[in-house]
Structure formats: structure tokens, C-alpha cells
DNA sequence: CGCCAGGTTGATTTCGCTCAAGCAATGTGG
DNA sequence: CCACATTGCTTGAGCGAAATCAACCTGGCG
């Protein structure tokens, strides 16, 4: 992970393309401006860290563009990728309720822009704007449920099925569907990262991919993935609860 | 799971023994009373369901006494135990932000009392009392981090270590420590439930227990567990991140 | 040209799952 | 009160799948 570049604020929150998808969509112009004044911008190239687990938090992080992987390291140095964050998403919402060290690492998987907001300003806004407080709670609850679903899958589904589910999720975000029901996908993640999301070693993931190719469900070539039939891929895995 | 008994409100939130540990600790007397008026009480014996996944939610659930297991069923009918909730905890906080069906099941593992509050009343209170809103967000974030930690453990720790961690957690809640560093514990859960929390089949859990006993780390007899040396048990597992 | 990171593939071992039997505690009906 | 089912748990045998260790390939890149 190379260093990040902290730049002075360029654009404003008001004109942010992902504003309506973000936590701040229920803010008035005035409130937005107040937030905006505290804003710093971090530009990261692919692979650059936005922040590292253990760093003191500089504020509330909000993805403006690109895609950011959120990872957690355990005591043995294993790293688990918890998920990807996209424009409008908040990173490390722990800093919403208490400052301190980052409990996760975050790095750009494509060139990305992330804004950093003053926690006090955000906190003030939360107090003054119940609609945003509710919105924030809703998002956090949604994320909690995502995590719990992942726990259930980790406990019950075999690795192969977990990987197919991951592929289907990535297709939603990064894929393009053709008229004939096939689709293509440029993976934003390395094999190792994929493996760390599925919870298996990377050699095992290689074999899983080989098996899926043998079954004619997907074709991998580097980071290019093509899926001959989306329907068949969906059918290859138990119901999406 | 047998049926639950819904009873008229007996005691009040104001006199609730777990009020200060609950979500409502920052409420004024007036606010508490307003909530209290909407309250219903559910008494459950061991094994009785508080609610089942898929049921329409009757409101916000708050544990008053006892201990409640929160479980999730997946499409194949596998059930995973997500955790235990104790007095002061909220169940299924999804209902905080939107009504609908329960996304988990909850059943009492010891005789328990759970209060049900009107979601509208709670929602009103959230809007009017930023301190409570903040408190609620804090709790939800904390739970999210718990879930993410569990994900990391599921992906990196072997079953044996995951079980020891679970034992250590249960010791905190249900154990009694002796002066000599040994401790005892009355398990509130069956072996199957323990297995479903660790993410292995119950036969495998039996073998894990047998191995731990062979190592002299614990002694099991029914639901009675004795740990000769707490320190040794802690040392048997990687650092508690 | 050689090095290196990322990826694949192979051989071997380990370990959790499955199926199956056995056992103790509890409950039930005759 | 006893025969018998039931439930929760343990134990064993065998299998299959993932981890591990290791070799090897491939495409950058200095």
C-alpha cells in the first residue's frame, strides 16, 4: 500500500455526483455547506491505502468516486476482505459515534476519491437533523444485516457456492449484461482478495474456478470474466435468501 | 418452540432493573412514561419462541430478564445461532427503521421476560431525543463490529479455537470464578446450539470437547463446565484481537 | 536477461462431514 | 412398575474436500 495524497477540497458536496446516494441526502443547502467547509479530499490510485487499521481516525470518510475495499486484519496477520464500498458509502462508521483508531483498513481497488469530514461537524448535524440520524441508523442496520447474512452463509454454504454468490454480487456492480443473457465482468480484485472474501486459501479458489469453468458456467481470463448464461449461474446456487 | 404468553404490562420501564443498561437510559421520566404506555410483556419459558423468522413484527423488543438466543434460518433450513441477548438488549433492531417481518428468530434459553414497544412511539422518541438516537446508533455500530469480528474469526480460526473463544465469552456472562483461577459455568445452550454458533456439526463439537478435555483445559459434565485454569484456556487460543 | 509477484497445478495430509451405532436420561402408555 | 419410544449426546469408520507444501508457469519491469 503506497501513500495517499491529501488534497485541499476541490468540488463541493452540493455538486457531488453521489450525493443522493449518500448519507447526506436529507441535508439542507445550509447544512451541506457547513459540512463542506470541514471537508478534505483524498485521491487514491489503485492499491493505495485510504487508511490503515490502527491509524488514528481523521474523521468521517465518504466515498466520492471509485471503489474501496474494506479489510480487517486479525492477530496472526491474516487479512479478511469484508466488502467493497462505493460512491455514497461511509467508511468505518465507528467514527460516527466515537473517535479513535481505525478498526479496519481501506484501500482503493480502482482510482478513487474519498472525502474526509470533521466528526464534530457530522455529529452536530446528526443531532440537529433527525431525518439524517434516522437515515444513518437505517444504513447501519442494513450493513449489520449484510454481515449477519454473510455469517450464515459462511457457516452453511460450501466455498464453491459462496464464491458464486460473490460473483453474482460483483456482476451487479461491475458487470455488463448482453441481450442474449450472457454477461461480462472486469474483476476489481485479485484472486487472493477474492479468496479472502470467500474465506478459503487462494489455491483453493483457483481450483474452484477451474471446476466452474469445467462446468461451463464461467470463463476466466486474467481479470476478465464471461458468463455464458446468467440464469444458469444463478441456478447453480441455493436460493438467494 | 412452544407458544409464548403475551401478558398485560406489569411493572414499568421506570423500575426496570436493566433500564440503565438499555437503550432508554437517556430518556426523561416523561419520555419513559410515554413509551411505557405502549408496552406489552412477553414471558417465555426455556425454549419458548419470542418470535419466529418471517412473523410480522409486533414492535420493538427489549429484553427485561433472562437470556434470549437470536437465530437465523437459511434457505435450506439450516439454523445458525447469531448470539445471545441479555437484559437491556434490543432484539431485531431492523424494526427500529422499518416495520415488516422478523429476519431472525428469537427464543428464550432461560425463563425470560421481553417487552414489546410500539415502533411509532419509539420512532417519535428517536426523533425528539438526539442523545438516545446517538446511543442507539452507537449500539448498532457496536453490534456491526461484533458481527464483522465474527466473520474474521469464521474465516481464519479453526473450529477448536472458535469454540474456545465462545467458551470464554460465555464464562464472562454465565461463569463464576474461584480464587485459585479456576472457574465454573452452567451452559445456557445445548450442544447443538453451541455447534451452530461455532459453525460445525454437533458431532464435530463433541470431538472438539473431547480433545479439550484430553488436554486438561476443561471438564464437561452435562451442561456443567469446569475450567481448571482460566489463564491456560486463554493461552490456548490466539490473542483476543 | 533475470527477477518477481500473481497465479495455476500437483501430491500429500489433515480434518470436518456423513452415516451409523450405541448410550444415558426422560417421558409415556399399558 | 416396566417395556418402550424419544431426545440429546458420544463414538466410530470411511470419505471427500480443503489446507499445506512445493513446483512451475506467465507477464511485467528494472
Please tell me the predicted confidence (pLDDT) of residue B92.
84
Residue in chain A closest to B97 (alpha carbons) equals A138
Please tell me the predicted confidence (pLDDT) of residue B65.
94
Interface test with B, best of A76, A124, A141, A235 (most B CBs within 10 A): A141
Residue in chain B closest to A136 (alpha carbons) equals B137
For strand C, list residues 207-226 of chain A whose Cβ lies within 7 Å of it. 207, 209-210, 220
Q: Which residue has the cell 486474467?
A: A222
Please tell me the predicted confidence (pLDDT) of residue A82.
96
Alpha-carbon torsion B115, B116, B119, B120, what sign? negative
Q: Do residues B53 and B105 lie in contact, with contact meaning Cβ atoms separated by under 8 Å?
A: yes
CA dihedral B206, B207, B212, B214 (to 10 degrees): 120
Residue in chain B closest to A130 (alpha carbons) equals B127
CA atoms within 13 A on the CB side of B91: 38
Please tell me the predicted confidence (pLDDT) of residue B99.
83
How far is B171 from A88, CA to CA, in rounded Å? 41
Consecutive 10-residue runs of chain B (241 residues): their mean pLDDT?
52 88 92 92 92 92 95 86 96 86 94 94 93 94 95 95 97 92 94 96 98 96 95 89 61
Interface test with A, best of B147, B149, B165, B197 (most A CBs within 10 A): B147
Chain B closest CA to A170's CA: distance in Å?
19
Query: Which of chain C's bases lie under 7 Å from a protein CB?
Result: 6-11, 15-20
Chain A closest CA to B110's CA: distance in Å?
24
Query: Chain B partners of A147 at a C-beta cutoff of 8 Å?
Result: 144, 147-148, 151
The answer to pTM > 0.85 is yes
Contact flag B130-A126 (C-beta cutoff 8 Å) = yes
The one-digit pLDDT tens for each residue of chain A (241 residues) are: 444 555 555 678 888 999 999 999 999 999 999 999 999 999 999 999 999 999 999 999 999 999 999 999 887 878 899 999 999 999 988 888 888 899 999 999 999 999 999 999 999 999 999 999 999 999 999 999 999 999 999 999 999 999 999 999 999 999 999 989 899 999 999 999 999 999 999 999 999 999 999 999 999 999 999 999 999 999 999 876 6
Distance A217 CA to D27 C1' (A): 26
B158 touches strand C (CB under 7 A): yes
Q: Which three cell numbers stand for residue A95?
A: 467514527
Contact flag B241-A97 (C-beta cutoff 8 Å) = no
Contact flag A97-B72 (C-beta cutoff 8 Å) = no
Q: Do residues B50 and B4 lie in contact, with contact meaning Cβ atoms separated by under 8 Å?
A: yes
Chain A closest CA to B41's CA: distance in Å?
25
Contact flag A74-B241 (C-beta cutoff 8 Å) = yes
Q: Which three cell numbers stand for residue B73?
A: 434460518
For strand D, list residues 146-175 of chain A whose Cβ lies within 7 Å of it. 158-160
Length in residues, chain A: 241
Chain A closest CA to B10's CA: distance in Å?
31
Q: In angstroms, how far is CA B92 from the centroid of its own chain? A: 11
B221: CB partners within 8 A, 6+ apart: none
Contact flag B151-A155 (C-beta cutoff 8 Å) = no
Query: Chain B partners of A94 at a C-beta cutoff of 8 Å?
Result: 141, 145
Distance B166 CA to C28 C1' (A): 37
B202 touches strand D (CB under 7 A): yes
Interface test with A, best of B138, B140, B146 (most A CBs within 10 A): B140
How many contacts, defined by CB atoms under 8 Å, are there between A and B?
132
Q: H or E stretch including A224?
A: strand A224-227
Amino acid at each position: 500500500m503506497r501513500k495517499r495524497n491529501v488534497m485541499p477540497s476541490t468540488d463541493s458536496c452540493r455538486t457531488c455526483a453521489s450525493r443522493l446516494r449518500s448519507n447526506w441526502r436529507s441535508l439542507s443547502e445550509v447544512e451541506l455547506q457547513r459540512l463542506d467547509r470541514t471537508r478534505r479530499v483524498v485521491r487514491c490510485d489503485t492499491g493505495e491505502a485510504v487508511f490503515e487499521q490502527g491509524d488514528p481516525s481523521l474523521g468521517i470518510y465518504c466515498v466520492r468516486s471509485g471503489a474501496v475495499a474494506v479489510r480487517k486484519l486479525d492477530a496472526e496477520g491474516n487479512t479478511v476482505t469484508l466488502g467493497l464500498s462505493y460512491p455514497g458509502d461511509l467508511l468505518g462508521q465507528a467514527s460516527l459515534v466515537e473517535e479513535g483508531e481505525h478498526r479496519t483498513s481501506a484501500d482503493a481497488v480502482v482510482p478513487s476519491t474519498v472525502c474526509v469530514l470533521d466528526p464534530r461537524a457530522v455529529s452536530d448535524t446528526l443531532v440537529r437533523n433527525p431525518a439524517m440520524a434516522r437515515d444513518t441508523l437505517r444504513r447501519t442496520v442494513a450493513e449489520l444485516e449484510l454481515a449477519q447474512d454473510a455469517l450464515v452463509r459462511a457457516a452453511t454454504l460450501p466455498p464453491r457456492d459462496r464464491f458464486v454468490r460473490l460473483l453474482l454480487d460483483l456482476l451487479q456492480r461491475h458487470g455488463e449484461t448482453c441481450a442474449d443473457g450472457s454477461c461480462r465482468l472486469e474483476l476489481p480484485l485479485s484472486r487472493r482478495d477474492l479468496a479472502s472474501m470467500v474465506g478459503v486459501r487462494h489455491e483453493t479458489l483457483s481450483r474452484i474456478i477451474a471446476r466452474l469453468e469445467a462446468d461451463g458456467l464461467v470463463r476466466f481470463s486474467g481479470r476478465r470474466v464471461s458468463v455464458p448464461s446468467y440464469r444458469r449461474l444463478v441456478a447453480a446456487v441455493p436460493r438467494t435468501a
